[in-house]
């Protein structure tokens, strides 16, 4: 990447545009002034020509003789601006030259004279005597009565005009480089001033690193481009910080939670490897190892899912879906899980409810609740499942006749890694993440949960989700009555 500063670019373009503007304006002004002066010179030439034509009109006979008569005095046009006059007879011979011409003779273009039957013509500017440029007007002369008696020429020096032009160019040659220098200095100052806030942002942003990710750029009092840049950067830092916290928390959680199963695996493996170990002992050790490994993989899976949901990395696919098939699937799983533990599954009403949700996540939510109900209910108990539509909400209820939850524990059960010491022997394989996932999934779906529980009698978890569309309720089976009185939402 080439190293070029915005300041340099701004200064460069500013100076260039300034120089070009000055050049264009300078040249345009010069052209305008030149054209004006040029037009006034033409006017002066015509005035001179008319003055002579008018005088000649009154003459009679040979113009040469007339000139000789008057010695040309009356034919001298007004002296200012100094005009040069030359008269020619019909043979194109010079018969009169104004005194200011001295010995010099104005050039005679015979071709032009022949073609000039009447009126006057201004020839292109010419350089005479290798000195100055002149402009010459040529005209036909004729008395009022009679045929043409010759031609007249009036010339004006362009010396003043050319000098003004030279001076102008000289001035431009000095002014433009000077202006470039001034605009470069000015441009640099302006660019520095304009970029100063960005420099400031740059310095502060560079200073923010992993150790002080909580710091933010100071907002600007005005809502300008830099202000918006600061807002964007602050948003970015916010997201970075959140992700950073998530990663740290994830690694801390993983290392903390994996320590116990890893110690168990190591201990059991050592037992199995003992030369004196009996085959039955080895088998038991391996079973424990497999159980712990399964628990670890479940834990890591849950943790990952939780971390992704919390950080927004896993974008939920929220679509309009019917909860009924999900609950029917869950019922199948619940039936199997309950039967393996000697529990009865009571299936209540399963209404048809449409919500805006992610099918995979909602399934996971239901599964976690059923898993807990099965885990924390001793054999012979009941697990009940129902889905009911009430007003504008769908209510998924998972009830059990298990150990129940102490009132003081209700506020903690949704926290990460919270596991009641009382239920720990029952909840083997649990990691304390099931209900945190439930909470996270509910947040995504704008749902809530109510928990009613009575220790020793059982618990009921009711998930409340806003309905997308209320369809006709389809009754499958009568529901059962709630147990506890305490609720958490
Ligand atoms: P885990 O079940 O893996 O321990 P959870 O987050 O799913 O973690 O649950 C947290 C705690 O809440 C459990 O340890 C248990 O004490 C309590 N709990 C959850 N569901 C029930 C239930 N149906 N009956 C009794 N206690 C429960």
Closest CA to 84 of 53, 52, 40: 52
Same domain, 13 and 128: yes
Residues with CB under 6 Å of ligand 1 are: 368, 372-373, 376, 400, 402-405, 413, 418-420, 423, 427, 430-436, 459
Same domain, 399 and 355: yes
What is the CATH classification number for the domain harbouring 408? 3.30.565.10
Tell me whether residue 68 is in a domain.
yes
**What's the rounded Cα separation, in Å, for the pair 282 and 273?**
8
Same domain, 301 and 341: no
Same domain, 301 and 277: yes
Same domain, 330 and 258: no
pLDDT tens-digit map of 4-38: 678 888 888 888 888 889 889 888 988 898 888 88
CA of 401 to the centre of ligand 1 (A): 14
Tokens representing residue 105 in the block: 């003779």
- Give the count of beta carbons closer than 10 Å to the beta carbon of residue 46: 15
Closest CA to 371 of 296, 298, 305, 445: 298
**What's the rounded Cα separation, in Å, for the pair 369 and 461?**
7
Predicted local confidence at residue 428, as pLDDT:
64
Closest CA to 354 of 203, 257, 465: 465
Predicted local confidence at residue 122, as pLDDT:
86
CA of 324 to the centre of ligand 1 (A): 25
**What's the rounded Cα separation, in Å, for the pair 140 and 113?**
8
Tell me whether residue 326 is in a domain.
yes
Tell me whether residue 203 is in a domain.
no
From residue 284, alpha-carbon distances to 269, 275, 279, 290, 424 in Å are 10, 15, 9, 10, 21
What is the CATH classification number for the domain harbouring 48? 3.30.450
CB 386 within 8 A of CB 334: no
CA of 413 to the centre of ligand 1 (A): 6
Atom of ligand 1 nearest to the CA of 373: 23
Residues of the chain with pLDDT under 70: 1-4, 59-81, 129-130, 426-429, 469-489
Same domain, 330 and 463: yes
Axis-axis angle for helices 359-375, 323-340 (nearest 10): 30
Q: Which of 435, 436, 437, 463 to mutate to test the pocket of ligand 1 (most atoms within 8 A of CB)?
A: 435
Residue ending a domain, choose from 127, 143, 164: 164
Closest CA to 148 of 88, 203, 231: 88
Tell me the residue range of the domain where 125 lies.
Answer: 6-164
Tell me whether residue 187 is in a domain.
no
Beta bridge partners of 350: 387
Tell me whether residue 220 is in a domain.
no
Tell me whether residue 175 is in a domain.
no
Atom of ligand 1 nearest to the CA of 461: 23
Same domain, 136 and 260: no
Q: Which residue has the tokens 């600007």?
A: 220
Same domain, 456 and 481: yes
Residue ending a domain, choose from 164, 185, 209: 164
Residue ending a domain, choose from 308, 341, 375: 308
CB 325 within 8 A of CB 364: no
Closest CA to 104 of 124, 118, 81, 85: 85
Buried residues in 458-485 as b, exposed as e (16+ CB within 10 A) = bbbbbbbbebbebeeeeeeeebeeebbe
CA of 297 to the centre of ligand 1 (A): 19
pLDDT tens-digit map of 129-167: 667 788 999 988 877 777 777 888 888 888 888 888 888
- The number of domains in the chain is 3
**What's the rounded Cα separation, in Å, for the pair 36 and 29?**
11
CB 373 within 8 A of CB 459: yes
**What's the rounded Cα separation, in Å, for the pair 54 and 44?**
15
Closest CA to 467 of 328, 352, 330, 316: 352
- Give the count of beta carbons closer than 10 Å to the beta carbon of residue 45: 24
**What's the rounded Cα separation, in Å, for the pair 47 and 83?**
11
The separation between CA 58 and the C-alpha centre of its own chain, rounded to angstroms, equals 85
Same domain, 248 and 335: no
Predicted local confidence at residue 399, as pLDDT:
97
Same domain, 386 and 273: no
Tell me whether residue 101 is in a domain.
yes
Tell me whether residue 251 is in a domain.
yes
Same domain, 265 and 376: no
Tokens representing residue 247 in the block: 């990663």
Same domain, 383 and 430: yes
Atom of ligand 1 nearest to the CA of 433: 6
Closest CA to 327 of 384, 369, 371, 366: 366
Q: Whose CA is nearest to atom 8 of ligand 1?
A: 432
Q: Whose CA is nearest to atom 4 of ligand 1?
A: 432
The residues, ordered by sequence, that sit 6+ positions from 235 with a Cβ below 8 Å of its Cβ are none
Q: Which of 301, 427, 449, 458 to mutate to test the pocket of ligand 1 (most atoms within 8 A of CB)?
A: 427
């Amino acid at each position: 990447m080439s190293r070029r500063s915005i300041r340099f670019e701004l200064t460069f373009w500013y100076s260039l545009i300034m120089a070009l503007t000055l050049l264009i304006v300078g040249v345009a002004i010069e052209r305008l002034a030149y054209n004006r002066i040029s037009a006034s010179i033409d006017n002066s030439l015509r005035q001179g020509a008319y003055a002579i034509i008018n005088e000649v009109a009154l003459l009679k006979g040979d113009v040469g003789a007339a000139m000789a008569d008057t010695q040309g005095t009356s034919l001298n046009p007004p002296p200012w601006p100094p005009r040069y006059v030359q008269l020619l007879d019909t043979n194109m011979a010079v018969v009169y030259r104004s005194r200011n011409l001295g010995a010099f003779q104005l050039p005679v273009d015979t071709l032009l004279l022949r073609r000039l039957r009447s009126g006057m013509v201004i020839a292109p500017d010419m350089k005479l005597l290798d000195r100055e440029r002149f402009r010459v007007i040529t005209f036909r002369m004729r008395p009022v009565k009679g045929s043409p008696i010759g031609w007249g020429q009036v010339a004006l020096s362009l010396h003043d005009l050319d000098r003004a032009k030279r001076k102008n160019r000289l001035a431009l040659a000095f002014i433009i480089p000077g202006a470039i220098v001034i605009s470069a200095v000015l441009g640099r100052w302006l660019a520095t001033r304009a970029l100063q806030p960005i420099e400031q942002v740059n310095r502060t942003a560079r200073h923010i690193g992993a150790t002080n990710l909580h710091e933010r750029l100071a907002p600007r009092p005005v809502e300008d481009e830099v202000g918006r840049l600061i807002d964007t950067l602050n948003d970015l830092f916010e997201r970075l910080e959140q992700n950073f916290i998530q990663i740290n928390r994830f690694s801390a959680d993983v290392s903390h939670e994996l320590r116990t199963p890893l110690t168990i695996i190591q201990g059991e493996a050592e037992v199995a490897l003992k030369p004196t170990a009996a085959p039955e002992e080895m088998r038991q050790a391996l079973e424990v190892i497999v159980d712990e490994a399964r628990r670890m993989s479940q834990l890591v899976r849950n943790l990952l899912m939780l971390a992704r949901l919390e950080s927004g990395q896993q974008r939920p696919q929220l679509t309009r879906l019917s909860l009924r098939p999900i609950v029917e699937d869950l019922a199948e799983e619940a039936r199997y899980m309950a039967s393996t533990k000697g529990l009865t599954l009571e299936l209540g009403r399963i209404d048809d409810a449409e919500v805006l949700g992610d099918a995979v996540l909602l399934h996971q939510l239901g599964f976690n609740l059923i898993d807990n109900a099965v885990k924390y209910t001793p054999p012979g108990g009941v697990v009940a499942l129902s889905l009911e539509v009430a007003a504008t909400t769908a209510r998924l209820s998972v009830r059990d006749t298990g150990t129940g939850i102490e009132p003081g524990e209700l506020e903690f059960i949704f926290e990460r890694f919270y596991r009641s010491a009382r239920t720990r022997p029952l909840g083997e394989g649990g990691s304390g993440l099931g209900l945190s996932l439930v909470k996270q999934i509910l947040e995504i779906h704008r749902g809530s949960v109510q928990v009613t529980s009575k220790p020793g009698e059982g618990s009921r978890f009711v998930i409340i989700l806003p309905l997308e569309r209320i369809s006709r309720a389809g009754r499958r089976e009568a529901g059962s009555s709630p147990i506890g009185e305490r609720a958490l939402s």
